[in-house]
Structure 1
């Protein structure tokens, strides 16, 4: 069967691989769509330290059920599904307290184990979610980045009526802003690209700030009436943005760090102590796929504006190269099979 295989950094091509055989507690899925994620681009560039090669890429995966485990009562062949790609061990300390997203032995499709950008995959039954019929195939993979964003908002403990500053207007930041709106919060998007800020406004975000052309700290102070943002979500991984979270946040505020920086970032711990800040890491998600699918299905969150284009699987290797060379031209691309 066809797959998109990353042989080594910078070497990606369509490959013919063996069809998978379903294990006892697994679902066999005919893949219909898969998202190309920033982690796939990092793997192509050779800068994602978690990836081993060769590797079939893809962890944002949706498809149709072909086979189910014996005695399965909820899923049936032909059902539309999306996978939760974070395969956890269930026995380590984080798993024992429900933090399966940061399992000590976590394996993620397309990173540590074979990805889903192939014609068929098998996946553990408990990590397969039935999808509503009204979400188009090209949009269904976006439920995965949405759960990443939802988890970040949850980690920051965002509540109705609060201002939440979000650094980075990529797909994670824009989805976090939309989710904050569903909670009754007031997102403030900070990003140096005016086109991304305009998209945020079209998605219902009232406050969009370019930190290159205006004093972002002063702007947030004015928007919040001097309090600063009760919560901040860092979704860019940019060193300056990470440092500025400490300035954007209110005294006794909360920060969720969802972006992955390229290098270690020094932070003034005196500021953290003086403002008595709560800082949370935010990795993957836990238990949010059903809610993510509901929000998209009911139109509460619009993922269609984030889709730059869709390509067929034969075009996927060239598209990965194009995104790696010109990342600013793409927000989200999905591959149809």
Structure 2
């Protein structure tokens, strides 16, 4: 079988290797589609705490080719040929966070395709409990959005949204757009902000009731502040989801949030934000981090399946496995206006 190894910065080697052996408690999955995200780009650019060489790919779907439920587990579960999304997260079940039910921040957390070999291979071996059967009638290619959908849903859940309140989502990449969809489904009025006019147009399609385009001038402008004031009776949004990882955006979140608001930081970067030591205590803000998800892929797939036409708009580019280098270089090109790139594996149908 063919596997793509990122061997050094921006260097990929394709190797013919043996199919993994089936072991108890595991399944062999023939990979059909793999979506790429910003983390993948950083790994390819050797700007991530991964060790190269590495087979990347953590957002993926395929079909079960063989399965062994393991001793004592019986035979109940998905059958050979079933289309599945796969959770890439690996946790220990032994550390403090795991025992507290917060395994998404396991002290020894790992992830297929990020810290150990992942899905840019024709066949992968994965634990049976990582398999999630796709909803009926859901195209496998679309189901690659299940994993990023779970990240967005975790951020929304961390914000404990309440129907009728107004939320501000900063950043309308795939995670921000999916957060808008999930918030809207819960009866939350969403204001969306981004630098890109085209992404803000998508944000309205995903459920935003107002959009604010950030730019080189002061943000928000006087007119934009009037929009915020009209939608926020409590002196600002009561929930803010920061989905860019840009320090200035997090600073805006703290500045614009209403007193007693919740701020969820899901965007990640290594940079440092500068905050006033007054704003957080004076407003008594709740600042909450959000990482990975608490096995939310099935829940995310259910929502995406109900909104297939909308979700498809997130997938802007498709490439075959042998075009992987071109796919990454496309992600680097701002002129391409990349949403999600999907790698259609040899067994997958790009339709």
Aligned-pair distance for 1:16? 2.5
Aligned-pair distance for 1:217? 4.8
* TM-score (ref. length: structure 2): 0.91
Aligned-pair distance for 1:123? 0.9
Structure 2 CA distance for partners of 1:4 and 1:133, relative to 1, 3 Å: farther
Distance 1:195 1:141 in 2: 23
Q: 1:107 corresponds to which residue?
A: 110
Q: 1:273 corresponds to which residue?
A: 281
Over the aligned positions, Cα root-mean-square deviation in angstroms equals 1.7
Deviates more, 1:39-48 or 1:260-269: 260-269
From 209, 230, 240, the counterpart of 2:238: 230
Q: Deviations over 1:32-69 (max 9, x none)?
A: 11101110001112221x21100111100100011112
Distance 1:248 1:242 in 2: 10
1:183-202 correspondence to structure 2 within 5 Å: 183-202=186-205
Aligned-pair distance for 1:28? 0.9
| 2:180 counterpart of 1:177 | yes
Deviates more, 1:14-23 or 1:170-179: 14-23
SS, match of residue 267 in structure 1: coil
Q: 1:56 corresponds to which residue?
A: 55
SS, match of residue 135 in structure 2: coil
Query: Is the contact made by 2:35 and 2:60 (CA closer than 8 Å) also made in structure 1?
Result: yes
SS, match of residue 327 in structure 2: helix
1:1-337 correspondence to structure 2 within 5 Å: 1-48=1-48, 50-70=49-69, 71-212=74-215, 214-215=220-221, 216-225=224-233, 227-299=235-307, 302-326=310-334, 329-337=337-345
Query: Is the contact made by 1:4 and 1:317 (CA closer than 8 Å) also made in structure 2?
Result: no
Q: Deviations over 1:176-231 (max 9, x none)?
A: 00000110101111111111111111223221101226525554233313521010
SS, match of residue 55 in structure 1: coil
SS, match of residue 151 in structure 1: helix
Number of equivalenced pairs: 336
Deviates more, 1:60-69 or 1:4-13: 4-13
Query: Is the contact made by 1:19 and 1:120 (CA closer than 8 Å) also made in structure 2?
Result: yes
Query: Is the contact made by 1:220 and 1:248 (CA closer than 8 Å) also made in structure 2?
Result: no
Deviates more, 1:251-260 or 1:308-317: 308-317
Runs (4+) of structure 1 exceeding 4 A deviation are: none
